[in-house]
A and B are shown apart, each in its own frame.
Chain A
């Protein structure tokens, strides 16, 4: 289905034939633009940014590149093409036809899922709104803005579902999505990690590596949904989410590359001397990994959850790569290992598989994020430096679920309160770490130039050279 760009809201859902819906969304559109103006990237209104815009949902149309002023970006509603005769792949309705409308009995749960997902999209734009002022290069500035406009489009994707399928409730939820503010104690975003600051570019890269990867897994699970419009929407969002993870993984990789280059050139490995050379020492990177990994772990929800079981059984939310898993896709009699605190110790216990679906998704995420950290380690290895980055144990520094009260070291050992307090400076970023990272931040705007603490990327965007003018200042 082609995207109709003649409409004020580009879409491939034939919006023009539903005048009521069109009017409702056209009413929401100026509110969105006002929110973007207030809470979108700071000082970016007049910049021409080399952005990717989808011009169709076919593979050939996903990546149309051109200079765009961000407030003019064509945010719209794009669903993946429908799969003919798609059937439900799991839960009690397995084998039945997927739903094109919301079944009344699942209405409130579906709305909750969509609102929770939708809330993260504007939240991250808000968290990142000042980063443009300290971008380490035009290339990175462009990547940040690409992430930002696509988070905005993901908000559109969720708001479309709310407006189209949830009536007045949906419209009110859509308005509330523009009213909550990341970090606002009076009206915060729904999930904890989305109220944390993204104060610097290291945090941004870590966020896009870890937290956007949570997005990948949540969207993948929703792409299995029996509610077909949600499945098709999230499938298309996944293609955009991939870019965000690319920004994170390659961003951290380039920081590691630069650090290793300097360590080799100057023959230093003492963190203080590495810092003196103006790059980010590897132990600091490890502490940032520990922080962002653990904060993201919490996003998957409670380890044992009856909500998760309900969502699965009723067909609202599947597992990651549901179709590739060889089991009965009902999970009534299976169990799944979950960590639980037992007399102050961390023990693996078998929980009903249905109730442990959050944990299963968390484990899929862990596997995926460990693999990427392994690729970072290969850069260190190649440089001949004896250091290894690791992802912390999933019980480390948890704020949600049964493990929240437990003090656990990054390698998974339960420690006393006193031990924790002694070592926390080695495990999580300290104020000094953050101050040091902050001190490195400064805007670099000359095409092809990069801040001292980060290496250039091996290739540019859309086969453009690295020194391409990715952002034009007017």
Chain B
């Protein structure tokens, strides 16, 4: 979604290094497993074996198809560890276990270098929040920069769906990438980089483009090692001049089965709080909805835990047909998420923007801004920033608060996150 145009990384991809570093290894918890043999009988490719003691998964055979997951009566089957590819657990080792090993911090992790171009692009996107903001105190520690241009990951496209109406002027796509047995741990709000194949007219490799992940940490489908992106086909630049976005067009045209080169993940600040009772106030336009979808979906999957906390969303698009995820969003229960959709180009209706709706919901927005458990996320086109800030200013004024003070409080406590482009 966020296309960072100025980041060109000079080094080239060495294909022999693809996925060379980290692996996502499928393991069975011997403490919970009852040795019923269902997984071994189910596995279509013979990746599971056993002895008198344990049932174990062959790393070099398992392709993470997940056929064994739902038939397992205990849930013991659904365990995964990130391991350095050179140190995967052998069958012999797994057969000796009485319990699963802890998730070790991979030798290569968040300490990995962030390419300076990516860092610059990320800083520009976050400029609207007024300098560095720390992540929410309860956010999961993110993995950053696991895969670089020298050691990228490869992902397979398993889905590519248009999510705007056929008549809509914008072609926005929901693209699902599967990482097989390569570890790609991402959190809601993080981005990944896509490296389009080929090069420009001068023969230099294409820029890497960053896209926010639109799925929660446990995958587009729970338990799958996949993620989704929300990609808009770029047909004009910011000024409206016709131009064809290299990466967005590449992605939007991909067929299921195609392989994509991925770097990242990136982002250590625009993350969601993990603790129960925290509220999310989300404002977005267009494909800025990707991280909001990820966070909302994360909360939706945990709704049975009754962790409380409110979700309030302001979402702007030209028309319902152009609003990504309009259908699924409408199906979420009112008591789960407070949806406010603004449409700026519906014939016969006055133009409405997210800032208008923020003003019309002033009392509820003010209540959330006052609550120390509220976290604010803004994502979309750069142009929305000033309008949203002005609306917050008005809301605060009307309810006896000082927006500058509120914003400063939000800022220092890691509760105000902006990503615009």
Contacts and interface: CB of A to CB of B under 8 A. Distances in A.
A237 B318 CA distance: 54
B387 interface: no
Contacts of A180: none
Interface string A209-251: 0000000100010000000000000010011011101100110
Interface on chain B toward A: helix, strand, loop, or mixed SS?
A: loop
Given A242-B73, A372-B34, 12 more contacts: A59-B42, A59-B71, A238-B37, A239-B71, A242-B34, A242-B37, A242-B38, A242-B71, A245-B73, A367-B52, A371-B53, A463-B222
A259 to B, nearest CB: 18
A246 B34 contact: yes
Interface string B66-77: 011011111100
A246 B74 contact: yes
A368 B72 CA distance: 18
A168 interface: no
12 contacts: A235-B41, A238-B37, A242-B72, A242-B73, A243-B73, A246-B34, A246-B74, A249-B34, A250-B74, A368-B35, A371-B35, A459-B75
Interface on chain A toward B: helix, strand, loop, or mixed SS?
A: helix
Interface of A: 59-60, 62-63, 216, 220, 235, 238-239, 241-243, 245-246, 249-250, 367-368, 371-372, 375, 378, 458-459, 463-465, 468
B256 interface: no
B201 interface: no
Nearest to A367: B52
B70 A63 contact: yes
Contact of A242 (B32, B36, B98, B222): B36
Contact of B67 (A60, A220, A241): A60
Interface in B24-74: 31-32, 34-38, 41-42, 52-53, 67-68, 70-74
Contacts of A242: 34, 36-38, 71-73
A235 B40 CA distance: 12
Contacts of A245: 34, 36, 73
Of the listed residues B34, B41, B70, the one surrounded by the most CB atoms of chain A closer than 10 A to its CB is B34
A249 B75 CA distance: 14
A464 B38 contact: no
Interface string B303-321: 0110000000000000000
A55 to B, nearest CB: 11
A433 B226 CA distance: 53
Instruction: Rank and list the top 9 A-B pairs by shortest CB-CB distance, nearest first.
Output: A242-B36, A59-B67, A63-B70, A246-B73, A243-B73, A242-B38, A242-B73, A249-B34, A62-B71
Contacts of A62: 70-71
A365 to B, nearest CB: 12
B34 A468 contact: no
Contacts of B31: 375, 378
B304 A238 contact: no
Contacts of A241: 36
Contacts of A468: 304
A312 B241 CA distance: 79
B35 A238 contact: no
A63 B71 contact: yes
A371 B52 CA distance: 7
Nearest to A247: B73
A373 to B, nearest CB: 12
A238 to B, nearest CB: 7
Contacts of B38: 238-239, 242
B74 A238 contact: no
Nearest to B30: A375
A371 B95 CA distance: 14
A216 B35 contact: no
A239 B39 CA distance: 9
